[in-house]
Amino acid sequence: MGLRSIFGGIILVLSLWFKVEGGGWLSYDFYEKTCPQVEGIVRAGLQSLHLSDRTSPAALLRLMFHDCQVQGCDASILLDSNNLTMPSEIASPKNFGIRNRESISIIKSMVEAVCPQQVSCADILILAAREAVVIAGGPWIQVPLGRRDSMSPNYTLANAVLPTLNIGVDHMLRNFSKTGMSIEESVAIMGAHTLGITHCKNILDRLYNSSDANYNTMDPELKKMLRLICPLRSSTANISFVINDPTTRVFDNQYYINVMKRRGILSIDSDLLSDPRTVPFVLRFADDQGGFFRAFSSAFVKLSSSGVLTGDQGVIRRICSAMN
């Protein structure tokens, strides 16, 4: 064996590890020995879920964000409350509209059947979100693994740190910069809103409240249409919804084209067009889907790796919805 191949081996080993912002290490071959089947099981699970529910990719991508934003991606969002003194994170109004938690539990039980007590719910959630992006037509993202599950969900923290409707670009950028994201990556991760829906209650202020900062930032034609779907003082604002972009089930760069045309649905979407720091990236991604995919992929890895439990921290839960 020549010196060159030894050197090559070292480079290879180094590149299999991923340093966690402010913590331990994840690795790209974490389950190579303990559960090589895991990626295939998650992929098959996602494909069958997608056949019965075409909106599942959107749900899983948002689920991943709302898990990772609170104490890092530790599957705490999947825990059901086991007693009245400790409400689960999902009880937070900020988690309104979160769905498909149970599908992670189902995939986990499929993984447990093959590799018991090896793979964390947190990693399965990240792999599911990664497959969701691919199934919807987005990039295939290589993700480092080795996250551990939390035994301490924090309702109060979830309430405090999940984004508000009027978070604004400044806060949004500051929050994402904590995960190591650049401005370009922060704009790219918002491109997740190329999938899915928004319930009427989340846009009523934009449509009807003239004191709202984003009352006048929406294309009037779109506003007219959304007002028909979301009437004022309707009793169904919690269940009626609008689609986030015209290609709501396709992971593409249509979101940025929409934002550019003042057709962003949520306030934060429209805000991206009014801040001088973010607007250049909106324009570029609207014109360059490949560039969006590349920036989204690196943003996804940063969001999903920041502040996670590794090594002997946390546990591997057997059932994702319960402490066990």
Ligand X SMILES: *[C@@H]1O[C@H](CO)[C@@H](O)[C@H](O)[C@H]1NC(C)=O
Instruction: Return the range that interacts with ligand HEM (CB under 6 A); candidates 75-83, 189-197, 253-261, 284-292.
Output: 189-197
Among 114, 167, 260, 283, binds ligand HEM (CB under 6 A): 167
Pairing assessment for the beta strands 241-243 and 17-19 based on DSSP bridges: unpaired
CB of 163 to ligand X, least distance (A): 4
CB 77 within 8 A of CB 95: yes
HSE, side-chain direction, 13 A CA sphere, residue 60:
31
Closest CB to ligand HEM among 191 and 314? 191
CB of 30 to ligand X, least distance (A): 27
CB 311 within 8 A of CB 24: yes
The two structure tokens encoding residue 79: 């825990």
Among 163, 168, 231, 291, binds ligand HEM (CB under 6 A): 163
> What's the Cα-to-Cα distance from 212 to each of 18, 52, 233, 265, rounded to whole Å?
42, 39, 17, 14
CB of 311 to ligand HEM, least distance (A): 26
Binding-site partner at residue 39 among ligand X, ligand HEM, none, CB < 5 to 8 Å by type: none
Closest to 274 in 3D by CA, of 162, 164, 172, 163: 172
**Within positions 236 to 295, which residues make up the interface with ligand HEM, using CB under 6 A?**
244, 266, 268
Give the bridge partners for 138, in sequence order.
none
The residue ranges that bind ligand X (CB under 6 A) are 82-83, 85-86, 93, 96, 152, 154, 156-157, 160-161, 163-164, 167, 171, 174-175, 205, 209, 211-212, 238, 323
Closest CB to ligand X among 136 and 218? 218
Which residue has 């014109």 as its token pair? 287
Instruction: Return the range that interacts with ligand HEM (CB under 6 A); candidates 106-114, 188-196, 223-231, 275-283.
Output: 188-196
117: how many CB neighbours lie within 10 A of its CB? Answer: 12
Closest to 92 in 3D by CA, of 193, 164, 196, 179: 164
195 scored as a contact of ligand HEM (CB under 6 A): yes
CB of 29 to ligand X, least distance (A): 33
Q: How far apart are CA 236 and CA 255, in angstroms?
A: 26
Distance of CA 268 to the CA centre of its chain: 16
Q: At what angle do helices 38-52 and 101-114 cross, to 10 degrees?
A: 140
202 scored as a contact of ligand HEM (CB under 6 A): yes
Site string for ligand HEM, 24-63 (x = CB under 6 A): -------------------------------x--xx-xx-
The catalytic residue positions are: 66
**Site residues (vs ligand HEM, CB under 6 A):** 55, 58-59, 61-62, 65, 97, 99, 163, 165, 167, 172, 189-190, 192-193, 195-199, 202, 244, 266, 268
